[in-house]
Amino acid sequence: MLLPELKRLYPTAEIIVVDDGSDDNTPELCSLNGVIHLRHPYSKGNGAAIKSGALKATGDHLVMLDADGQHSPADIELLLSKLNEGYDMVVAARDFSSQASLPRGVANTIYNRFASLMTGQKITDLTSGMRAFKATRLRKFLPILPNGFSYPSTITMAFFRNGFNVAYLPIKVNKRLGQSHLRPIQDGIRFLLIIFKLTTLYSPLKIFFPIALVQAFLGLGYYAYTYLSDGRFTNMGVTLLVSATTIFLIGLVSEQITMLLYARLANDDDDQQ
């Protein structure tokens, strides 16, 4: 009942449904409700659908929401009102009780705290699928968005890195329609990859430097131990100190690459305007 409700509440809005290679009656439903239907010939992922919709849309403000029945169309007006207060992105933030399952709730809590630590800003829902954007701000980062489900975390870190204004608006969500596709092993691996990706997207040196520092202390400690006990400097001490230096330099280079990436995206956006 999402499309009829959207049409009822926002009769003049440009509503785009991105069909990510499904084999159901989505085209018929879109035609029946008079909305734009974009179809991928095969499934490319949630992020790919977001990119297709953002490129097709013509408005100055864009609102993204999932079609699984969790989000209330009535909340769109709240997001847009907040956006008009001077924000570049407004996120519909769920609380722990609104998570699809306990494992996802725990994982999202860790995501939120880790991302908050990285950015120095309070992030209450890193992975929410309902967001409102200024269109020019979102399109700036389309080239770096992944095709998979980590697009919300990617765009959030990119916005904070660029100094854009982000707001979180608490909402209540409905029970999702259909079954969850949670896969413990695959999603566990994806969980770790997203954690590392959050770091590299925002500031790689923030994680490389502490690791290098620990490695350096281990090297110095091992050197002190071997020198006091045997009066020599072992190969292991050298290896630990060299690896600490290497890790630090990798982090430093990664930081510069990240800065150049955002600078290039900013220049591309200026050229388009």
For residue 213, give the amino acid letter.
L
Q: Tokens 């800065």 map to which residue? A: 259
**Weakest-pLDDT range from 98-102, 129-133, 214-218:** 98-102
Q: What's the DSSP call for residue 143?
A: G
Domain of 98, in residue numbers: 61-202
pLDDT at 137 over 60: yes
In a domain, 157, yes or no: yes
Q: Does residue 189 fall inside a structural domain?
A: yes
pLDDT value of residue 259: 83
In a domain, 18, yes or no: no
Q: Of 202, 219, 243, which residue sits at a domain end?
A: 202
Would you state the pLDDT for residue 10? 94
* Global model pTM greater than 0.75: yes
Burial class (CB within 10 angstroms; exposed 0-12, middle 13-18, buried 19+) of 116: middle
Q: 86 and 196, same structural domain?
A: yes
Residue 130 has pLDDT above 90, yes or no: yes
Q: Note whether 181 and 230 are same-domain residues.
A: no
Residues 213 and 96 in one domain: no
Mean pLDDT in residue range 67-72 = 84
CA 175, 177, 178, 183 dihedral sign is: negative
Predicted confidence at residue 42, as pLDDT, reads 93
Residues 118, 215: one domain?
no
Write out pLDDT tens, residues 92-109. Answer: 998 766 665 676 778 778
Q: Could you tell me if residue 21 is left (phi over 0), alpha (psi between -120 and 50 degrees) or otherwise beta?
A: left
Half-sphere exposure of residue 261: CA atoms within 13 angstroms, side-chain side: 18
pLDDT tens digit sequence for 18-58? 999 988 889 999 999 999 999 999 999 889 999 999 999 99
Q: Are 197 and 245 contained in the same domain?
A: no
d(CA 142, CA 145): 5
The pLDDT confidence band at residue 179, using thresholds 50, 70 and 90, is low
Residue 133 · residue 61 · CB < 8 Å: yes
- Asked, for residue 4, whether it belongs to a domain, the answer is no
Output the pLDDT for position 204. Answer: 86
| Mean per-residue pLDDT over the chain, rounded | 86
Mean pLDDT of 9-15: 94
Q: Average pLDDT, stretch 213-226?
A: 93
